[in-house]
């Protein structure tokens, strides 16, 4: 499998924690989906115990989907390589009415 089973167990346990639930609900407005972590943990255990090809395939597909989802969210801001040329000048004063 791509990762040890303890990593899947830790992710599943974190997903079910009250702190993660509150944070996820506050940010996204919905409950976190922890079912995939449970399935990955079960597949990993099946792979370790029985060397099931189906369990290994399931884990690899899940990891690919997770990587693709992470790549989908690109940076919003373009990172600078150097500061602007006029960074040291004072800011323009707004006209007071």
pLDDT band at 1 (very low <50, low <70, confident <90, very high): low
State the pLDDT at residue 76.
Answer: 78
pLDDT one-digit tens code per residue, 22-47: 999 999 999 999 999 999 999 999 99
Q: How far apart are CA 29 and CA 61, in angstroms?
A: 27
Q: How far apart are CA 28 and CA 37, in angstroms?
A: 19
How many other C-beta atoms lie within 10 A of the C-beta of residue 10? 14
pLDDT one-digit tens code per residue, 9-25: 999 999 999 999 999 99
pTM tops 0.75 = no
**Helix or strand or coil: residue 10?**
helix
């Amino acid at each position: 499998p791509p990762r040890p089973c303890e990593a899947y167990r830790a992710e599943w346990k974190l997903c079910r924690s009250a702190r993660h639930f509150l944070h996820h609900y506050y940010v996204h407005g919905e409950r976190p989906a922890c079912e995939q972590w449970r399935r990955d943990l079960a597949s990993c255990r099946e792979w370790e115990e029985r060397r099931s090809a189906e369990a290994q395939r399931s884990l690899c597909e899940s990891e690919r989907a997770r990587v693709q989802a992470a790549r989908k969210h690109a940076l919003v801001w373009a990172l600078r390589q150097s500061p602007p040329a006029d960074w040291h000048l004072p800011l323009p004063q707004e006209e007071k009415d």
